């Protein structure tokens, strides 16, 4: 069991894994983007991972309640903002980590489109989208965002891909469109792949990114899961 899951009992397995992927003191500012309950940001705040945690959610009631709960922490160690993550303005000259977790892949892409060009030079992104990871990976590799670490977990019957990314200076490294975490002997990975293949099989005769996803996952199946076929 990770040390972080003992220290932060409110964190789910998914949030604990995200916390485990963050190096303490590597960033001056960490953004808990689309924070909702803000449990991840609060764990960062209470464990002094960074100089400042900025919580952002678009729903005023959420940020109002969160501000009340966080009042026990020193006011210069955090901010709570009510706005869209597409509108944040990370301060230059500081090293930032922006966490985007628990949202759909399309929203992650929309936010990254706004932020990565303008701020990518001094921001890393920690991503855990609830769907459309193929499309998200494709966006990352076409926009010079390199996955430096990735992970996979299952929780409550759902599957999650987690990725730490950084902006490349030389954006020519070819990233895998399906990810590098796959283990042919892991039954959760096999079940997740089955689910993805089932979903994308509906698109296989089209000329779209979805049909490309189907053939890439099929290739993965024949390469990594050949013993299960």
Ligand X SMILES: C[S@@+](CC[C@H](N)C(=O)[O-])C[C@H]1O[C@@H](n2cnc3c(N)ncnc32)[C@H](O)[C@@H]1O
Which residues are at the interface with ligand X (CB under 6 A)?
34-36, 56-59, 62, 84-86, 101-103, 107
Q: How far is the CB of 131 from ligand X (least distance, A)?
A: 12
Note the helical H segments in 2-100: 3-7, 13-20, 39-46, 60-69
Q: Which lies closer to ligand X via its Cβ, residue 35 or residue 140?
A: 35
Residues 45/70, Cβ–Cβ less than 8 Å = yes
Report CA 198 to chain centroid distance, whole Å.
24
Q: What is the spatial order of strands in the sheet that 29-33 belongs to?
A: 78-82, 52-57, 29-33, 96-103, 123-129, 158-167, 145-155
d(CA 26, CA 41): 15
For β-strands 29-33 and 96-103, DSSP reports them as parallel
Q: Which lies closer to ligand X via its Cβ, residue 98 or residue 193?
A: 98
Q: Which lies closer to ligand X via its Cβ, residue 37 or residue 204?
A: 37
Q: How far is the CB of 155 from ligand X (least distance, A)?
A: 11
Q: How far is the CB of 101 from ligand X (least distance, A)?
A: 4
Q: Which residue minimizes CB distance to ligand X?
A: 102
Q: Strands, DSSP E only, in 22-63? A: 29-33, 52-57
Q: How far is the CB of 81 from ligand X (least distance, A)?
A: 9
Residue with tokens 């963050």: 22
Q: How far is the CB of 82 from ligand X (least distance, A)?
A: 9
Q: Which lies closer to ligand X via its Cβ, residue 22 or residue 213?
A: 22
Q: How far is the CB of 84 from ligand X (least distance, A)?
A: 4
Q: Which lies closer to ligand X via its Cβ, residue 100 or residue 224?
A: 100
Indicate the Cα dihedral angle 154, 157, 159, 160, nearest 10°: -60
Q: Which lies closer to ligand X via its Cβ, residue 84 or residue 211?
A: 84
Residues 40/11, Cβ–Cβ less than 8 Å = yes
d(CA 197, CA 8): 36
């Amino acid at each position: 069991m990770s040390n972080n899951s003992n220290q932060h009992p409110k964190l789910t397995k998914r949030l604990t894994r995200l916390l485990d992927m963050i190096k303490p003191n590597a960033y001056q500012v960490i953004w808990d983007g689309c924070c909702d309950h803000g449990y991840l940001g609060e764990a960062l705040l209470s464990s002094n991972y960074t100089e400042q945690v900025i919580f952002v959610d678009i729903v005023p009631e959420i940020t109002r309640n969160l501000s009340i709960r966080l009042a026990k922490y020193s006011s210069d160690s955090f901010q709570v903002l009510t706005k869209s993550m597409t509108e944040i303005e990370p301060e230059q000259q500081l090293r930032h980590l922006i966490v985007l977790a628990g949202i759909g892949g399309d929203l992650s892409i929309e936010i990254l489109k706004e932020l990565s060009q303008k701020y990518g030079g001094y921001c890393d992104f920690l991503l855990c989208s609830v769907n459309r990871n193929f499309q998200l990976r494709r966006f990352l590799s076409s926009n010079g965002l390199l996955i430096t670490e990735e992970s996979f977990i299952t929780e409550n019957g759902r599957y999650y891909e987690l990725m730490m990314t950084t902006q490349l200076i030389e954006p020519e490294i070819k990233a895998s469109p399906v990810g590098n975490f796959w283990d042919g002997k892991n039954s959760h990975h096999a079940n997740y792949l089955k689910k993805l293949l089932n979903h994308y099989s509906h698109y296989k005769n089209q000329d779209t990114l979805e049909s490309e996803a189907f053939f890439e996952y099929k290739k993965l199946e024949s390469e990594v899961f050949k013993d299960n076929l």
